[in-house]
Structure 1
Amino acid sequence: MFRVIASRAATCALRTVPVAKHFSTLTKKQVLTPLAVSINKNTTQIRQFSAKAPLTKKTLEERIILVLSLYDKIDAKKLTMDSDFTKDLGLDSLDHVEVVMAIEEEFGFEIPDGDADRFKTPRDIFQYIADKEDVFE
């Protein structure tokens, strides 16, 4: 059975420390995060997770096109970065919401409804994500 313990001071990528020593560093007010997993009574492995891989304009465009082309109601042959969702691809408002949800899931953040309503083409989505995620290259 695993017990999750951690401290904010745990900064090593992967190391082993005695559990008793680790518990002595924790205080009641300290915020615990799932960085360390107690494997047995004597050792604890501490893991640190890395950030997301950096996006480039090319990979961003490819991921947007891939997500949109996998949507059932979009004809992949008609899909370009400048295709209008309603005029060229024939999507209605419900389809637009589902597309935005798929984009949110792909990129791991929520897009407010006010911003999502302004998406008319895949290029609009591209520009929004590039601005939000600081994609410059």
Structure 2
Amino acid sequence: MIFEKLTGLLSEQFGVEADSITMETTFEDLGADSLDIVELTMAVEEEFGLENMGEDDMSGLSTVADLVNYLKSKLED
């Protein structure tokens, strides 16, 4: 469910087909720059009801799988 929500967000934000996004897709593959990452962070916070997801948290993530695993750990707390 997390992956499906994320593919929707990523598809919308980066203008790519949701079907083209896999767990191995990197943010670089999507053409993300630092501003895109900030916007993605805000969208993820809103979508998943998280607060204070910092740039530091996102800086260590490079693939969709990394973000899915990060969200799983945050949502289980």
Task: Report the TM-score, using the length of structure 2 for normalisation.
Answer: 0.82
Q: What's the offset of the Cα at 1:69? A: 1.1
Write out the 4+ residue segments of structure 1 that deviate beyond 6 Å after TM superposition.
none
Selected match of 1:113 from 51, 55, 63 = 55
1:100 corresponding residue in structure 2: 41
Q: Deviations over 1:65-107 (max 9, x none)?
A: 1111111x34225422211111x11111111111111111100
Look at both structures and tell me which one has the larger radius of gyration over its CA atoms. Answer: 1
2:27 corresponding residue in structure 1: 85
Could you tell me which runs of 5 or more consecutive residues in structure 1 were left unpaired when the two chains were aligned: 1-58
Give the counterpart letter for 1:133 in structure 2.
Answer: L
Could you tell me which runs of 5 or more consecutive residues in structure 2 were left unpaired when the two chains were aligned: none
Highest RCO, 1 vs 2 (Cα 8 Å, sep ≥ 6): 2
User: Which one has a larger percent helix, Structure 1 or Structure 2?
Assistant: 2
Distance 2:38 2:26 in 1: 15
Aligned-residue CA RMSD (Å): 1.7
Identity percentage of aligned residues: 37
Give the total of aligned pairs: 75
- 1:126–1:82: structure 2 CA closer, same or farther, 3 Å change rule? same
Q: Does 1:60 align with 2:2?
A: yes
User: Which one has a larger percent strand, Structure 1 or Structure 2?
Assistant: 1
- 1:122–1:74: structure 2 CA closer, same or farther, 3 Å change rule? farther
Task: Report the TM-score, using the length of structure 1 for normalisation.
Answer: 0.49
Q: What's the offset of the Cα at 1:114? A: 1.2
